[in-house]
Amino acid sequence: MTPLPGKTGGGQGVPAPPAENDDKSRKAAGKIPPEGDGGNHRTLVLLGALCFFLSTLEYLIPKPLPFIRIGLANFPLLLALDLLSPGQFALLTLLKIAGGGIIGGSIFSYGFLFSLGGSAVSSLVMYGLGLMRRRGGALRPGLAGIGTAGALCSTGIQLLLARFLVFGEGARYLIPPFLAAALVTGFALGLFCEYFRRRSRWYALQSGGGPAPETGFPPPSPAGREPGGVAKAPPKEKPPRRGELKRQKRRQRWDSLFDSRELVIAGFLAVLLFLFNPSTLGRGGQFLFFWFCAWASGKKNRPLITLSVIAAVILVNLLAPYGRVLAEIGPLSITAGSLAMGFRRGITLEGLFMLSAALVRAKTQGRPGPAARRGGGALRQGFRSFRRLLEESLALFAALNDGRGLIRPGHITGDLDSLFLGMDSLSPAEPSPPEPGKAGAGEGRSRGRLLLALGLFSVAVFTALPVFFTG
């Protein structure tokens, strides 16, 4: 039997080993697509959706400091090293940053800034090491090393930003545990990615390897059946809880009142007023107002987590004491300066998160407006293309999130590969047109604008009053 094109003669269906001479030959072999290759658009969208999914999963993992990530979302970047061109890899990084901020509702918070810095630096380092890996030689790093380097760089940048924005001098006590966690998770993620790449049918097809390798995962089960052909029991739909129904009503009322673009503009103004508030007490009042806005928008507030994060920030600031000593608990000195600074930084951190959760929507509504549909310069066209990529990735993320129940404990890699193959066949959903009666500024939107103006006025009052009283 004649071997399949691009295969070695060792057996049918086994991908040929990648060429390791230079990037030009790898592009010719299909391992690195040329810049602007339309055939790789689907892969970029799917990897972007996977970034969103893993970012959401990482956010749900309990951590001492929820806003510092451990790098699970680097898995799609490791997969993309040999699948995407440099420009497409940069686009994937932007999708990871922007989509994570939208889904997590953190665009106006310090968490988004930490994600921006950590993702940008770690992506640059990983891609540079990926180039060294492709060129071969004595210093050819493996995926475990690349994953470790990316995790360490991401965590290092986040700790550096946290030192200046949140913790102050006490941040040095966080360096050993967080870098140790990054070392373990980065190494494990790299090993898992290496294993997945060698056995995945989806990756073999994406990299130009043709049919699935013989040593790959077992073929996916037919829809609605367990492995072995046993029919699955239909899933039982649980009725929504009373609290979820109330949140849905608040969310619908919030969406009917406010336009997403107006919310973004109001958010930027509120962030400026919040950060330039010189009074800790006034900033505390703004924090409570932002907490109410997050509750009114239908977001699930967790007071215990909020208080624990503020307490953790205060504790870390107390490790670098300054000012008058208020009390001593063993070796820990509680000083007035550190306590006030920790409280201020804690409510700032959580206040920005609450504001962002209230004002950022996790879905795009309607079609682009006339200004977005008209032709324009390269910047406008580039932004429109990126927006389209982001919308498609968000739509695919919703489908991926719906299929997470197909991944079984003990079969994660095989089920993930089957899920990728199924997701790759889906067509991206078109943006839904505006619902009748909701387009334009009606009576509800007029009330929404009035409420936005009153809200910004209230935030400004909390900023200005301390200045008048101290003056």
Conformational region of residue 17, where left means phi above 0, alpha means psi within -120 to 50, and beta covers everything else:
beta
Instruction: Copy the structure tokens of residue 103.
Output: 């889904």
- Last residue of some domain: 206, 222, 256? 206
In a domain, 263, yes or no: yes
Count of domains for the chain? 2
Whether 58 and 173 share a structural domain? yes
1-10, 135-144, 205-214, 430-439 — which one is most confidently predicted on average? 135-144
Structure tokens at 65: 């400091």
Q: Assess whether 176 and 308 both reside in one domain.
A: no
Weakest mean pLDDT among 26-40, 239-253, 272-286, 331-345: 26-40
Q: Are residues 69 and 196 in the same domain?
A: yes
Mean pLDDT (the chain) is: 74
Provide the CATH number for the domain around residue 86: 1.10.1760.20
My answer on whether 170 and 305 are in the same domain is: no
Is 419 within 8 Å of 406 (Cβ atoms)?
yes
118 contacts 157 by C-beta, under 8 angstroms: yes
Mean pLDDT of 194-209: 84
| pLDDT tens readout for residues 246-287 | 888 888 888 888 888 888 888 888 888 898 888 888 899 999
**Model confidence pTM above 0.85:** no
Res 7: pLDDT? 38
Query: Pairing state of beta strands 325-329 and 332-335?
Result: antiparallel
**Are 343 and 459 members of one domain?**
yes
Same domain, 140 and 275: no
- Cα gap 390→98, rounded to integer Å: 8
Domain that holds residue 39: 23-206
Does the pLDDT of residue 87 top 50, yes or no?
Answer: yes
Between CA 168 and CA 161 the distance in angstroms is 10
For residue 133, name the pLDDT band (cuts at 50, 70, 90). Answer: confident
Q: Are residues 196 and 290 in the same domain?
A: no
Q: Which one is predicted more confidently, 201 or 360?
A: 201
The pLDDT value recorded for residue 374 is: 43
pLDDT top residue among 107 and 229: 107
Assess whether pLDDT exceeds 60 at residue 429: no
Are 196 and 128 part of one and the same domain? yes
Phi/psi for 377 (5° steps) reads -75, 180
Query: What is the structure's pLDDT at 157?
Result: 93
* 45 and 161 part of one domain: yes
Query: Is 63 found in the same domain as 197?
Result: yes
**Displacement of CA 87 from its chain's centroid (Å):** 20
Does 118 have pLDDT greater than 60?
A: yes
